[in-house]
Amino acid sequence: MSACDLCKPSPHHILWQDDFCRVVLLNDADYPAYCRVELLEHIKEMTDLEPPQRARMMKTVFAVEMALREVTLADKINLASLGNKTPHVHWHLIPRFENDKHFPNSHWGTAVRDGQPFGFNSALLESLTQKIKAHIECALLAE
């Protein structure tokens, strides 16, 4: 078994997946709509991908971002691709709110207040799931 966590089956709720990447909903109490787009193949950098693969990855990232904007009505969506701890292509998509624990700072930093995440329930999760699927399918049909 690979030492890379993203090469293993995801322990997170998979919102969407094809033969190239998957979209998972991370279980974060402070950021309940926090998603990650994970490349299925173990590749370290975006520039290691062929240009059509890069475009396909970003189409997926942008489709998830649009779905998160529509469902959560966040003040800002943060996009991040770091890979320092996990050198495997993946993108973090984090809906941010002016009253969250870390705003306006990075959600990985020190909290500046007690956050009040928006109400996240099973109906919102189902709406998020359906919107992400629809946006991704629409984006990928354009290829």
DSSP-derived letter for residue 23 is: E
Q: Read off the CATH number of the domain in which 88 is found.
A: 3.30.428.10
pLDDT score for 126: 79
Of 33, 3, 7, 32, the C-alpha closest to 22 is 7
Q: How many CB atoms lie within 10 A of CB 64?
A: 26
At residue 125, does pLDDT exceed 90?
no
Quote the number of domains for the chain: 1
DSSP-derived secondary structure for 90-126: EEEEEEE-TTSSSTTS-TTS---S--------HHHHH
Q: Which domain holds residue 109?
A: 5-141
Q: What is the pTM of this model?
A: 0.88
Of 76, 114, 80, 122, the C-alpha closest to 95 is 76
